[in-house]
Amino acid sequence: MNVLGLLRPRLIGLVVVMLCLLGIASYLSMARQEDPSFPQRAGLVTVIYPGATAEAVERLVLEPLSDELSQVEELQYFNATARTGVALISLSLEDEIYATDAAWDRVRQAMARAVLEFPQGVAQISLDDRMIDIPAVILAVRGDASLIHLGLEAERLKRAMVDIAGVSRIELDGKADEQVTIALRDAQMSRLGISPSYLAGILAQRNQVIPGGFIVSGGKRMGLLPNSEFVSIDDLRATQIPLPEGGYIPLEAIADIWRGPLEPAQPKAWFDGEQAVLVSLTAVRGQLDAIRFGQQVRERLELLRPEFAPLQIEEMFFQPDQVKDRLDGLEMNLLGSVLIIVLVVFIGMGWRMGLLVATMLPLVALISLGIYDLGGGILHQIAVIGLVISLGILIDNAIVMVENVQDRLNRGEPRAEAVRHAISELAGPLGASTATTLAAFTPLLLAKGGTADFTRGIPVMIMLTLTVSYLLAIGVAPLLAGRFLKPTNTRSSQAMDSIGKGLARLSTGSPGWMILLGALMVCGSLALLPQLKLQFFPNADRPLVVIELYMREGTDQQRTEDVAAELESRIRQRPQVMQVHRFAGSAGPSFYYNLTRAPQAPNRARIVIRAENLAATAGIIHWVRDHVASTMPELAVVASTLGQGPPRVAPVEVRLYHPDDSVRIAAAEQVFALLKASQGAVDVRHDIDLGVPTLRVDVDDALAARYGLTRADVAQALNTRSLGLTVEQYRQERDSLPLVLRSPEGTRQSLERLMSASVFNGAGESIPLTALAGIQPGWQPAAIRQRNGVRVYTVTAGLEEGYSFSQILDQMNRGLADVPLPAGVRLELGGDSEGSGDANSAIFTTAPVGMLLLLFFLLLQFNSFRRVGIILLTVPLASVGVFPGLVLSGSPFGFQSVLGIIALVGIVVNNAIVLLDVVDQRLAEGMDIKTAVSEAIERRTRPILLTTATTIAGLLPLAFSDSTLWPPMAWAIISGLLASTVLTLLVIPAVCRLTLGRGSEQAKAAASA
């Protein structure tokens, strides 16, 4: 049978060319982003309860809401914070949930049930279920001292950019919403007998939207527009207020009226020292090219900038540039890997065979990209890394196939017979080896959770490229080899022959010693485990320093702004600082996928520093810590570069539970002291609430009743004096402005002024507050924190360069062993410890599936438990070089190293399969076991060594790259492959020599009998 005709070379060629063209088109047009997107598993519930204390918010809002949320099975956990007037609940869905919309609907149903139990006065409850989304572009509008004017112009910019293709939503940060303040003069109000409640009723009555209808005149409709609402601030000032004694007086005679920023102050932002309003553009999720999106934004900005002059529109954070730089760098690594691999193949196989094998690289890469794009894949750094890892592995099949065809041609077989025999001989073993590699990556593909979502592009791309490479190896490579290869006088190079014969002598001559050597090396490698530094994910390689600023709970935002401004001014004096951005009242917009969005808090600020280069960030971080510790004791900072992997609160996080607040505080302080004293721990902080001072107003009910007042009247009067009472809306602007009645000083009034305040009764009489109530200083919690409905304190810490979370936790555990926590305290670990545990658990949960598939394919190929056991011996051999390599290279052991070990296992299992397959073939031909093993080693030494060399060569650019994420994985594969390849060629044949020999001899005896 003519195998060349059977395989229809022209048809195969056409299909391959078309698929390659699809790959080229996909590469030019497919969606691009820097990192994978996470499912929408994070949300934030905000409940506004004006004036309520933190304890009241916990009791009346958090408790019923927690009871309902606890019944939502899709929730993994929820953290809640109760502050004065507000409850914030951050939610996280289970890792197994990918269709998140239905889960969030369940959360909304729970919120609706909880609302039925809320007290009167709860003003608002809302859910933001898009906390994962980050802006692709953050623009700063600056150039004017008026924040209100900047906000109006930012709104205009938003409307001008909302129709850009790919925009999901546009949000403004740092703007000052407005209110119309009506500052009442107590003296005039008291003299005229006008109470704030009376005035509020008059204003509400005169500011209603009431249609006047229309009349028909001359066949046309004429609208009737009665002046039922205030059309200007002057109209408001001039409105006539009826006096109880008769007559009227204009509002401006008893109140100062102005239009100004909303109170309390909203979060603010500064672009490189200048106050600005930020315009954040979030792109649609999914099939969007972030680079092209950035180009469209810049093109629109070029058209708009002249319209906004003299204001400047600056790029604060521009993610498309980062996407381009990241992908360009990785593509250069990919190109470098390809060139090195091609060079190795040419050196190891000669130019003719090397050219055929090297041809497989672009073919597999292009076809895989085309299929990846058809399946909805996005080109990001994880997918490119998967392609880089697979480069050296994917040509393994082609190397074995091409060499087999060449060997058959050298032995004088006709071309058609050489191709047919090579395919029939290798289709099964290569299929089994490819399938076992796919099985090794199956747990990563099936795992669920944030880490799995982040790294899933690696198994997807590797499994795709290996499948394509196998199909090309049995369908394209032998056809090309049969057409272009020529018989040669020597089967392989003299050096490879010598190496193969030497390995064969060692393995077959002293099999027991070889097995003992392998066992000793495995034990020696495992002995290095205690020296490994554990790290979940490293920090990013951007030259940005993020400083989180925390003032004490209860601190006013203005004070937070002043402290942040002082620190910023000192930072600007440091060398190698290029740019400094500041946010106060919140953490600002999340400009990086690893930064979690933080809710508004008056005691919170963030400073982002753009350094000259990545090396300069360490010096800046250390200076900030030292400066704050020595000169700003009221401030707590967390300074670090950007992180990688799934978002987390801190590398080290310890949660402490106990129903007694005092016991819980003692436990948190003990853990805080231990972490503070731990070598390598930095930015150690806790969230123990020390409380805030209060003024308790105790109303005498009898005295109040004598004046026609109640406790509610007094509370309402105090709230009106300070925060103010919203009585209506001023609707003459695009967005309505609240009309707020309050005292002239508002929240800035002095204690003496408050003591002299008056309360108005229904008759308009003014009664001094001190005549109704006693005022006593007090203390109350500023914030109460819960996790899953239980009160908790959390202690967190960062890591000094060169330290891992496991080292810090080991020191803490030794301290707790000497002095245990108070009885009944429950300790729970979060941070990297929890994240790595969840990630490993997700892999181990799906590992049985991968192991089952591995055993299935091995048994399908060999139908022998003994041979399957021999092949599985390569798994411990794969670890021999990993741990020494990580220790010598100074790389930490983290999730990337686990990825490297999985890839390594797939490679060495492949080597063992093709080696054992030759042994079985030679045994079937009647050779004795020693000769069969020797023949197998000599036949497979070159392809195995070439596979090792190409895989290592392909990973070298990655190992020596500037990235902080991928070198540990590259070094794990490189070092492990160097050791395991030699051991595979020594130990596996030795085991075959001892275990398969008896079976072959018995078979021979049976045949001769």
Predicted local confidence at residue 254, as pLDDT: 86
Strands (E), 910-982: none
DSSP 8-state class, residue 837:
H
d(CA 358, CA 742): 79
Encode pLDDT of 601-636 as tens digits. Answer: 888 999 999 999 888 998 999 999 999 999 998 899
Confidence of residue 1005 (pLDDT cuts 50, 70, 90): very low
Predicted local confidence at residue 1, as pLDDT: 41
d(CA 298, CA 917): 59
**pLDDT surpassing 80 at residue 271:** yes
**pLDDT surpassing 60 at residue 481:** yes
Handedness of CA 111, 113, 119, 120 (dihedral sign): positive
d(CA 574, CA 257): 45
Bridge partners (DSSP) of residue 776 are: 696
Predicted local confidence at residue 1008, as pLDDT: 42
Percent of the chain past pLDDT 70, that is, above it, reads 96
Predicted local confidence at residue 357, as pLDDT: 86
Predicted local confidence at residue 801, as pLDDT: 82
- Among 57-71, 158-172, 299-313, 772-786, name the one with the lowest average pLDDT: 772-786
For helices 831-862 and 415-446, the axis angle rounded to 10 degrees is 150
**pLDDT surpassing 80 at residue 442:** yes
Give the burial class of 445: count Cβ atoms within 10 A of its Cβ; 0-12 exposed, 13-18 middle, 19 or more buried.
middle
**pLDDT surpassing 60 at residue 3:** no
**pLDDT surpassing 80 at residue 75:** yes
Predicted local confidence at residue 570, as pLDDT: 93
Predicted local confidence at residue 242, as pLDDT: 87
Confidence of residue 677 (pLDDT cuts 50, 70, 90): very high
Q: What's the rounded mean pLDDT across residues 184-193?
A: 82
**pLDDT surpassing 90 at residue 71:** yes
Residue 958 one-letter amino acid = L
**pLDDT surpassing 60 at residue 687:** yes
Asked if the bond preceding 310 is cis, omega within 30° of 0, the reply is yes
Predicted local confidence at residue 59, as pLDDT: 92
Mean pLDDT of the chain: 84
Asked if the bond preceding 264 is cis, omega within 30° of 0, the reply is yes
Q: What's the rounded mean pLDDT across residues 299-327?
A: 91
Question: Which of residues 262 and 90 earns the better pLDDT score?
Answer: 90
Encode pLDDT of 537-567 as tens digits. Answer: 777 788 999 999 999 888 888 999 999 999 9
Predicted local confidence at residue 997, as pLDDT: 64
Total-model pTM: 0.84
- Whole-angstrom CA distances from 231 to 4, 225, 377, 716, 730 are 88, 12, 55, 29, 8
Residue closest to 400 by CA, chosen among 367, 366, 374, 426: 426
| pLDDT winner (highest mean) among 229-243, 275-289, 307-321, 987-1001 | 307-321
d(CA 183, CA 201): 16
Q: Which residues of 191-222 are buried (b: 16+ CB within 10 A; e: fewer)?
A: ebebbbbbbbebbeebbeeeeeeeeeeeeeee
User: Pairing state of beta strands 178-184 and 577-584?
Assistant: unpaired
Encode pLDDT of 405-433 as tens digits. Answer: 888 888 888 888 888 888 888 888 888 88
**pLDDT surpassing 60 at residue 994:** yes
Residue closest to 108 by CA, chosen among 41, 60, 45, 42: 45
d(CA 1009, CA 1003): 10
**pLDDT surpassing 60 at residue 999:** no
Residue 646 one-letter amino acid = P
**pLDDT surpassing 80 at residue 490:** no
Q: What's the rounded mean pLDDT across residues 780-804?
A: 89
Confidence of residue 227 (pLDDT cuts 50, 70, 90): low
Do the Cβ atoms of 951 and 392 come closer than 8 Å? yes
Q: Is 646 helix (H, G, I), strand (E, B) or coil?
A: coil
Q: What's the rounded mean pLDDT across residues 840-852?
A: 82
d(CA 734, CA 715): 33
Predicted local confidence at residue 4, as pLDDT: 47
Q: Report the Cα–Cα distance between both ends of the chain, in Å, rounded.
A: 37
d(CA 196, CA 189): 8
**pLDDT surpassing 70 at residue 584:** yes
d(CA 981, CA 877): 9
Predicted local confidence at residue 563, as pLDDT: 94
Predicted local confidence at residue 2, as pLDDT: 47
Encode pLDDT of 205-225 as tens digits. Answer: 777 766 767 777 777 777 666
**pLDDT surpassing 90 at residue 936:** no
**pLDDT surpassing 90 at residue 39:** no
Predicted local confidence at residue 1007, as pLDDT: 41
